[in-house]
Structure 1
Amino acid sequence: MLIGVLALQGAFIEHQRALAACGAQSRQVRKPGQLDGLDGLIIPGGESTTMGKLMNDFGLFGPIVSRAKEGLPVFGTCAGLILMAREIAGSEQPRLGLMDMVAERNAFGRQVESFETDLAVPVLGEELFRAVFIRAPYILETGPGVEVLARFKEKIVCARQGRFLAAAFHPELTGDKRLHQLFLTACASRQDRAPAVITA
């Protein structure tokens, strides 16, 4: 299994290490051609407006959406969550619009207000998931096709829609690989090649 990790900004190396720990191969993605042959794509954290600009400069927006329509699973963390949303509250910045949700940027405060906490993520089992929030967003609202996987103080911080997965926190920065494994399960089922649902 080969998973692409968007390598324009953020903790893409840490995602590659997490994937390796799960037994998956990975490839850094900076150009459209590097999307070829992938079984899944991870969009890491960073600064969403900068990442969006770089994705536009490198001609990645259209090819990513096209691959997603063809069934490519996509996992967005932190800034990746923002870019996957149908709408970003108070912003017209470029986004992929892969998930029927509204994202709120910097919802938990500034960098100095970053924190860690234990989250209940029932789809991952009974053991709590250690979550690292760094200038994190949250999901303000979701459409009917979106499954909420985790909340923090009533705010939605992890969700899934078909083959698309989004987390407001950084699972790549802990030793817990269950969220990556959940994504890899979606990637492993891609052989049926059924079209994904795109909301924008």
Structure 2
Amino acid sequence: MTPVVGVLALQGDVREHLAALQAGGARAVPVRRAEELAAVDGLVLPGGESTTIAKLADRFGLLDPLRDAVRSGLPVYGSCAGMVLLADRLLDAAAGQRTVGGLDVTVRRNAFGRQVDSFETEVPVDGLAGGPVRGVFIRAPWVEECGADVQVLARTADGRAVAVRQGRLLATSFHPELTGDRRLHAAFVDVVRQAA
């Protein structure tokens, strides 16, 4: 089975996720409308600017359908800003910032610093064969607190949680779509296949 996996295509690194999902075994499609969301087996919330993505989702009439889809069990992977969007609770959020929610975590926005503080490092990810992934951290968040059902899959060398999973929801602080390493996307496509 080739699952259809959407990428929320309102702002951010949409093209890179589409390519990574295709390479990971999915039919990847951009999602900009509620009817497109209803037609996918899984969804990626890409990196970008979380407040902008949330505002555009609201303006496009997608915020409530996204929340409903997550509550209904749609597999969703959020990278960087996508992690912020999936979080139930935020620290250092913009005034009135809204999220899709569903992931029982507290996420600190821009936790690693400003754009000039961006960096790359090797990140071992639990359950992912083939060694560490190259983590690209760009104004990245981290997870401060996790609920009981959330599994931490990766931490930085100083112990910050940067990849988590709760059921069909997966989130990373970093951008695997920018490195050419397709293993995390392939693992997410497997989650989507199992859920279908």
In structure 1, stretches of 5+ residues that fail to align are 192-200
Q: Kindly report the root-mean-square deviation, in angstroms, between the aligned alpha carbons of the 2 structures.
A: 1.0
Q: Which runs of 4+ in 1 moved over 3 A?
A: none
Q: Distance in 2 between matches of 1:114 and 1:145?
A: 30
Partner of 1:113: 117
Is 1:169 the counterpart of 2:195? The answer is: no
**Comparing 150-159 and 122-131, the one that deviates more:** 122-131
Give per-residue Cα distances to partners, 1:56-79, cap 9 Å, x unaligned.
111111111212222210000000
SS at match of 1:101: strand
**Cα drift, residue 126 of structure 1:** 5.2
- Residue identity (%): 49
Q: Which AA in structure 2 matches 1:177?
A: R
In structure 1, what is the Cα distance between the partners aligned to 2:90 and 2:30? Answer: 26
- C-alpha distance in 2, partners of 1:90/1:146? 21
Q: Secondary structure at the match of 1:165?
A: strand
- 2: CA distance, partners of 1:97 / 1:144: 16
Q: Partners of 1:90 and 1:172 in 2: how far apart?
A: 26
Which residue of structure 2 aligns with residue 53 of structure 1?
55
Corresponding pairs, count: 191
Supply the distance in 1 between the matched residues of 2:4 and 2:144 (Cα, whole angstroms). 32
Q: 1:20 Cα deviation (Å)?
A: 1.2
Corresponding position of 2:77: 75
Residue among 182, 186, 192 paired with 1:187: 192
Unpaired stretches in structure 2, ≥5 consecutive residues: none
Residue 145 (structure 1) aligned with residue 149 (structure 2): yes
Contact (CA 8 Å) 1:120, 1:126: kept in 2 or not?
no
TM-score (norm 1): 0.92
